[in-house]
Amino acid sequence: MIALPVLWLYGASGVGKTTVAWEVFVQLARVGAPTGYVDIDQIGMCYAPPTPRHWAPEPDTDPGRHRLKARTLDAVVANFRDAGARFLVVPGVTDPDRGVEADLVPHATVTACRLRAEPAELRRRLAARGRPNDDFTEQLAYADALDRAFPTGLCIDTTGLTVAEVADRVRTRTGWPCPRERVENPSTMRREPDRTPGSILWLCGPAAIGKSTVGWEVYQQVRRAGVHAAFVDLDQIGFHRPIPTDDPGNHRLKAANLAAVWGTFRANGAECLIAVGPLGRPEDMRAYTAALPAATITLCQLRAGQGTLADRAMRRGRGITPAPGLAGDQLIGQPQARLREISDQAARNLDALDGFGDLQVGTDDRPANEIAAEILGRTRWPSPVH
């Protein structure tokens, strides 16, 4: 199988990895190049609990989970190929000493490009994210470590540049994607369904319902109970353009990548996984049960009234969101008319899924910790791993 060309943008927080990588992804898709996108940080959320229930954790030989993320990336590369991708764009942090470890991604041809910014500019950008009183010592120290560890090599300073300008420089300096690396024929290999056992709790619902907020709270409560758990946002592992006309939610790719991610996390010690993501139609569930026949998937549908959906959509559109910076947010910056259309469609989706799943939980006028506690109480989740 020909390795898939991967462009990996790395650097410290605030240098623009996510926004620049997304711009490159959009540029390639715009000219008709089948392209995937996955943030390396989104496929590494697998943490041991603060206080284990049954055993003491092994010595942490991968404290930043950088090697875990690289192995997980390799696990999903073939799925992007099967979905038709000819290129894959990847932003994310790396080990400050080793940088991008391309040897851990043998199914890809990795082009690594570091982004940086001057300390004053980094501090300004980090403060603009909503934490103006922090001193950002850790982030600035990491940026300095990268500058010292990699004084030469492919690096682009983003200070004073727009996202589009940086994206243009990245593509010019890397020559990416190089035509001779183009994968003309996607893989036709069909892998066997993943046989990894375990418990997966999937919180589904339309845009602005609160999936990510509630799901992350569930994850934190599970970890505080002493469980080695993992978390994944299905949207963040399913970006590929063009989107198949017969699968508008890209569920086949998401399901395949969920299985790949779960297999890697389980091998790393995870007992269970919390997933969040939309489900447009009941029949979309088939892709996930087929990809994960040995796992127990508990589907929890979050619900809210139309007024609540509209209010949350408007807030997200103005950038008032508990999860800023996620790629592909289709609400931020949209005009009010478009936001109303999205919230109306969300209400219709809820009607179409009424009664579907293992449980339905209302989210109107309720804090995330209360909703999460109800979900865990009603499901008695997670069930033991066998």
Q: Which two tokens stand for residue 159?
A: 């200070």
pLDDT score of 134: 75
180: confidence class by pLDDT, cuts 50, 70, 90: very low
**DSSP single-letter state for residue 70:** H
Quote the CA–CA distance of 327 and 368 in Å, as a whole number.
22
Asked if residue 112 lies in contact with residue 6, where contact means CB atoms within 8 angstroms, the answer is no
Give the residue among 156, 8, 147 at the shortest CA–CA distance from 91.
Answer: 8
Q: pLDDT tens-digit profile of 87-111?
A: 999 999 999 888 899 999 999 999 9
Give the pLDDT of residue 59.
54
Tracing tokens 């909703």 back to the chain, one arrives at 371
| DSSP summary character for residue 182 | -
Residue 195 pLDDT exceeds 70: yes
pLDDT at residue 51 above 80? no
Q: How far apart are CA 17 and CA 23, in angstroms?
A: 10
Lowest mean pLDDT among 50-54, 123-127, 134-138: 50-54
* Run of H or E residues at 254: helix 251-267
Q: Which pLDDT does position 52 carry in this prediction?
A: 76
Is residue 106 a contact partner of residue 75, using CB atoms and an 8 Å limit?
no
* Element holding 223 (H helix, E strand): helix 211-224
Residue 67 in contact with residue 104, Cβ under 8 Å?
yes
Burial (0-12, 13-18, 19+ Cβ within 10 Å), 41: middle
pLDDT of residue 187 exceeding 50? no
Collect all residues with Cβ–Cβ distance below 8 Å to 225 and sequence separation of at least 6: 49, 53
- Greater model confidence, 54 or 195: 195
Burial class (CB in 10 A: 0-12, 13-18, 19+), 152: exposed
pLDDT of res. 186: 47
Using one digit for the tens of pLDDT, what is the confidence trace for 333-361? Answer: 889 999 999 999 999 999 999 999 999 99
Positive or negative: CA dihedral 176, 182, 186, 192: negative
Whether 331 has a pLDDT exceeding 50, the answer reads yes
Q: What is the secondary structure of 221-239 as a DSSP string?
A: HHHHTT--EEEEEGGGG-E
What does the pLDDT look like over 247-305, one tens digit per residue?
A: 999 999 999 999 999 999 999 999 999 999 999 899 999 999 999 999 999 999 999 99
Fill in the amino acid letter for 263.
G
| Structure confidence at residue 324 (pLDDT) | 55
